[in-house]
């Protein structure tokens, strides 16, 4: 039998503790709101705002936002799937003003996109080309089909969103308000229900 002194045991425990990762930060202390502010700034670039010729691109941004935010939460905060409900709720409760800001940015940049659309139309008249799936324009047909789907799915967004945002009283939302928000903004979650 080997006798271990208390001092030796204490040193072994200290070495072991030094190799352990720090304890996780409690969920309520994670800076979710600050992170979301920064993340949403990157969602819609100025170049996209001015140069996209398809108005449905805004709906594409909305549709992709949940997946982008989920992966962002995982990578930013080192959380393993699934996201804890309380964290998911904090993200959702913080989103409405950001969606409104994105919508307003998109609307404010309509003139620049319209000028770009007119320029593209002039170029197509001057230099006509046949577009088929087989001569390098398969991506264009896929994009047009996707935009047609988005236009259909979000056809009532422009009437539902202002009403929702006007009635929204700020965080925290109740479950019914949260579900209404998701149904209006993130149609991909409820494709079969819409």
Q: Could you say which DSSP state residue 43 is in? A: T
In a domain, 164, yes or no: yes
In a domain, 178, yes or no: yes
Encoding tokens for residue 79?
Answer: 């959380």
d(C-alpha 184, C-alpha 160), whole Å? 7
Mean pLDDT value of segment 146-172: 92
Whether the predicted pLDDT of 129 surpasses 50:
yes
pLDDT in tens, 35-63: 999 998 888 888 888 888 888 999 999 99
Can you give the pLDDT at residue 5?
78
Can you give the pLDDT at residue 14?
85
CA distances from 140 to 90, 132, 147, 148 (A): 38, 9, 10, 12
| Domain membership of residue 98 as a residue range | 6-190
In a domain, 1, yes or no: no
- What's the pLDDT band for 1 if we cut at 50, 70, 90? low
**Phi, psi torsion values for 192, nearest 5 degrees:** -75, -20
Whether the predicted pLDDT of 189 surpasses 80:
no
Is residue 168 within a helix (H) or strand (E), and if so which, with residue range?
none
Whether the predicted pLDDT of 188 surpasses 80:
no
Give 98: exposed, middle or buried? Use CB within 10 Å, 0-12, 13-18, 19+: middle
In a domain, 65, yes or no: yes
User: What is the tally of structural domains in the chain?
Assistant: 1
d(C-alpha 5, C-alpha 90), whole Å? 50
Q: What DSSP string runs through 53-86?
A: --TTHHHHHHHHHHHHHHHHHHHHHTPPSSPPHH
In a domain, 94, yes or no: yes
In a domain, 22, yes or no: yes
Note if the bond before 172 is cis, omega within 30 degrees: yes
């Amino acid at each position: 039998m080997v006798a271990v002194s208390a001092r030796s045991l204490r040193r072994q425990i200290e070495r072991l503790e030094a190799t352990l990762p720090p304890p996780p930060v409690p969920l309520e202390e994670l800076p979710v709101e600050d992170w979301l502010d920064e993340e949403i700034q990157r969602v819609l670039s100025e170049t996209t705002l001015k140069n996209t010729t398809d108005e449905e691109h805004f709906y594409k941004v909305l549709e992709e936002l949940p997946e982008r935010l989920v992966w962002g939460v995982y990578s930013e905060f080192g959380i393993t799937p699934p996201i804890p409900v309380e964290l998911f709720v904090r993200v959702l409760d913080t989103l409405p003003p950001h969606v409104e800001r994105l919508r307003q940015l998109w609307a404010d940049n309509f003139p620049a996109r319209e000028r770009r659309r007119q320029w593209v139309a002039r170029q197509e008249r001057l230099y006509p080309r046949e577009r088929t799936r087989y001569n390098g324009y398969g991506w264009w047909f896929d994009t047009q089909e996707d935009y047609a789907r988005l236009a259909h799915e979000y056809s009532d967004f422009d009437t539902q969103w202002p009403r929702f945002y006007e009635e929204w009283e700020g965080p925290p939302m109740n479950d019914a308000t949260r579900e209404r928000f998701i149904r209006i903004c993130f149609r991909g979650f409820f494709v079969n229900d819409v």
